[in-house]
Amino acid sequence: MPSTVRPEVVLLITNVDFSHPDIRTRPYHRDGRPFTRAERDLLVTFTPEEKAAAKAQIQLEAEWQRELDEMKDDFVALLMKYFAKLPKGSVVDDAVAIMTDEDYAEFERLAEIVTAEDTLEYRALYEEN
């Protein structure tokens, strides 16, 4: 049996800014844009299955963000461990230069992860298609 869940509807639901001050009069995207009439017309047709799928997606995104925040904290803690041993005015390269092999491997792993989000956000916001 084909799925009754329309991905475009799930995407709209996950993109609603439920904390927007004007949410009672019209829906807004999380980036602050009001929904278009076509988007509003589609949004009001959501099914219970689509609502459940959107809720599950929102929970996955929240968990992913928590994990990413923890990795960012770990990244900063790792660097601060070495900055504490260096003179004021030192830079990341100075900290990296005195890292153990194990910490350097962890630094490289975390650097790739914590900078990926920023890179993707930058590209999405500022690059032309």
Characterize 37-62 residue by residue with b for buried, 16 or more Cβ atoms within 10 angstroms of its Cβ, and e for exposed. eebeeebeebeeebeebbeeeeeeee
pLDDT in tens, 21-60: 998 899 999 999 999 999 999 999 999 999 999 999 999 9
Report the C-alpha gap between 104 and 109 in whole angstroms.
9
Rounded to whole angstroms, the Cα distance separating 95 from 14 reads 41
- What the block records as the tokens of 13 is 């639901």
User: Model pTM?
Assistant: 0.69
User: CA 30, 34, 64: angle at the middle one, nearest 5?
Assistant: 15
- 62-120 tens-digit pLDDT: 998 899 899 999 999 999 999 999 999 999 999 999 999 999 999 999 998 888 766 66
